[in-house]
C-alpha cells in the first residue's frame, strides 16, 4: 500500500478541495490522519483527535481527483 500525502478533489485542480495529511479541519479541533485509496478506486479520509481515528469523508471512484503520494528516498 502506498501512502497518500495529498489529494485534490474536483474537475479543475486550481479550484479543487485539497486535503493534506496533518491538515487541521473542523475548526482546528481535528486533523487529517490518513488518506486511503481502496481497491475499487474510491477514496476515504480519516481524521483524528486525542488518538481516536474516524472516517470523515468518502469519495467514489468516479470523482475527478489528483493524488500525491509520499516519496521517501
How does pLDDT run across 12-59, given as a tens digit for each residue?
999 999 999 999 999 999 999 999 999 999 999 999 999 999 999 999
* Inter-residue contact 19 to 7 (CB < 8 Å): yes
Cα→Cα distances 42→7, 34, 50, 67, 69, Å: 12, 14, 27, 12, 16
Mean pLDDT over 2-6 rounds to 86
Domain extents in the chain:
4-69
- Strands in the chain per DSSP E: 4-9, 17-20, 24-25, 30-37, 43-49, 52-59, 65-69
Residue 62 pLDDT more than 90? yes
Number of other residues whose CB lies within 10 A of the CB of residue 56:
16
pLDDT at residue 52 in the model: 97
Amino acid at each position: 500500500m502506498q501512502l497518500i500525502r495529498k489529494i485534490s478533489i474536483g474537475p479543475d485542480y486550481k479550484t479543487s478541495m485539497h486535503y493534506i495529511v496533518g491538515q487541521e479541519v473542523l475548526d482546528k479541533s481535528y486533523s487529517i490522519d490518513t488518506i486511503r485509496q481502496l481497491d475499487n478506486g474510491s477514496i476515504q479520509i480519516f481524521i483524528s483527535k486525542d488518538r481516536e481515528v474516524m472516517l470523515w469523508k468518502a469519495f467514489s471512484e468516479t470523482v475527478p481527483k489528483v493524488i500525491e503520494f509520499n516519496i521517501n528516498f
